[in-house]
Amino acid sequence: MTKYTLNLEDDFDFDIIGLCSHQADYRVCWSINEQIGLRLKKSIEPFMVSGKKGVVNSSHSLYEFEDEDESIAYYLIQNKSNGKFLVPEKAQIDFFLVIKEAGAFDVEGFLAKLKEIQSVLTAFSFDPCDLKSANKFIF
């Protein structure tokens, strides 16, 4: 009998920007909205990370905005919540800004705008394929 194996590669159709800030999540969100012109709003439900048996391991603040004109969705997610990290390998990051776009998006230009915000200490982009926990951002 012939055996076939199916190898699936992760195809991440989003960009991830890590933000460092000493401010609370709502202050960072407000600053981004004011400086860049987004309309991020706090989600009704937090971003939850579940374990293998469906038990919620942690929940993180989630702010979202969908720009229907540009076909871009923005998600600001807090990395650390109650001592647990969303992405443990990037413990120095305070927030992740996930950008899901249908077309081309100027990440470097957007990054430059983020770095100008006073409450953002630094911002840098990640290749989702380089993160072990990148599959958590698929929602």
Both tokens of 66, joined, read 């969908």
Cα–Cα distance measured from residue 22 to residue 59, given in angstroms and rounded to the nearest whole number? 20
Pairing of strands 56-60, 47-50: antiparallel
Task: Report yes or no on 4 lying in a domain.
Answer: no
Whether 30 shows a pLDDT value over 90: the answer reads yes
Structurally, the chain folds into a number of domains equal to 1
Highest mean pLDDT among 2-6, 8-12, 50-54, 60-64: 60-64
Task: Report yes or no on 39 lying in a domain.
Answer: yes
CATH number of the CATH domain containing 129 = 3.30.310
Task: Report yes or no on 1 lying in a domain.
Answer: no
At 48-60, the pLDDT tens digits run 776 677 667 778 8
Tell me the residue range of the domain where 119 lies.
14-133
Q: What is the CA radius of gyration of the chain?
A: 16
Residue 84 confidence (pLDDT): 84
Task: Report yes or no on 28 lying in a domain.
Answer: yes
Average pLDDT over residues 10-37: 88
Residue 127 confidence class, pLDDT cut points 50, 70, 90: confident
